[in-house]
Amino acid sequence: MKSKIPKDHPRHDSLVRRERLAELGKKGLVHETGLIAHGRGEAFDYLLGEKTIPASDHAEKVAACYLLLAKNPVISLNGNVVALAPKECIELAELLPAKLEVNVFHRTQKRVEALVEEMKKAGAKEVLGAKADAKLSYISSERAKCSKEGIYSSDVVLVPLEDGDRTEALVKMGKRVSVIDLNPLSRTARTATVTVVDELTRALPNIKRWVEKLKGDDREDLKGMVSGWDNKRYLKEVRKYILTRNFE
Ligand code: ATP
């Protein structure tokens, strides 16, 4: 669909994102609660100045290190992610390489298949999720259903826009979980191994840039970077950034 938002509108990009979510909402790919989640993200992005703050660039570097160290890295996709950043996910997955898997809270077979199809339209070769042949432990919602060769057997999962329950379940299962969440106070943010407090469409290309930069590095150096990461301290730094920012 061609956007009707004028190119010179001061909030062009943000309005185009809303338009895209609404469009996929009408098709049933984005759930209506996804629109609420997006609004909460926008509010936090305002507080951050709608840019990648230096501490989050560091978080993106550590998320890249985890992905590079992984044996079976998976990028988990929900409706909002497929609507807003399909190409960014595909590019990162191809570079690593990592698997792509659709996993949604409001799961119907039809919706998962439509999301897989949407990713294929954007250029993805393989997207897991339609065949749910495994179940995550510690979780009772439909999100427990996943792919055996994907999220179930993964050691590192990148979950853009996650809910707290599943992050907790994945961590309890022994996986390293990197999340992208603009809300530094969410349960997701507090539970993840690495939380990237940045907007999805900025965070994914930044992680990709770090992967490109660090790809040839010694594994021991990458391990050193992840072992030095303190997620709690980082979240404190983000909160301090918001509280002490000059809003004039
Ligand atoms: P939790 O269970 O972790 O406390 P929650 O119930 O708020 O979180 P969701 O409703 O799934 O979880 O919300 C997803 C989160 O995604 C929101 O907190 C919001 O800040 C964040 N978010 C939404 N859109 C974006 C975006 N484009 N980029 C980054 N983060 C986003």
- Mean pLDDT, each 10-residue run in order, the chain (248 residues): 80 91 96 95 96 98 98 97 98 98 94 98 98 94 93 97 89 97 96 97 98 97 97 98 94
- Whether cis (ω within 30° of 0) applies to the bond prior to 6 is no
Q: pTM score > 0.85 for this model?
A: yes
Q: CB of 161 closer than 6 A to ligand 1?
A: yes
Q: CB of 164 closer than 6 A to ligand 1?
A: yes
For residue 199, the ligand 1 atom closest to its alpha carbon is 28
Q: CB of 112 closer than 6 A to ligand 1?
A: no
Look up the CATH superfamily of 54-244.
Answer: Phosphopantoate/pantothenate synthetase (3.40.50.12640)
Contact 178, 193 (CB under 8 A): yes
Q: CB of 182 closer than 6 A to ligand 1?
A: yes
- Cα(218) to centroid(ligand 1), Å: 34
With the most atoms of ligand 1 within 8 angstroms of its CB, the residue from 139, 167, 182, 235 to mutate is 182
With the most atoms of ligand 1 within 8 angstroms of its CB, the residue from 82, 88, 89, 186 to mutate is 186
Domain residue limits, the chain: 54-244
The per-residue pLDDT for 162 is 80
The per-residue pLDDT for 1 is 66
- Cα(42) to centroid(ligand 1), Å: 10
The set of long-range contacts for 43-48, using a CB threshold of 8 Å and a minimum separation of 24, is: 44/182, 44/183, 44/184, 44/197, 45/182, 45/199, 47/242, 47/245, 48/182, 48/197, 48/198, 48/238, 48/241, 48/242
Q: CB of 106 closer than 6 A to ligand 1?
A: no
Q: CB of 200 closer than 6 A to ligand 1?
A: yes
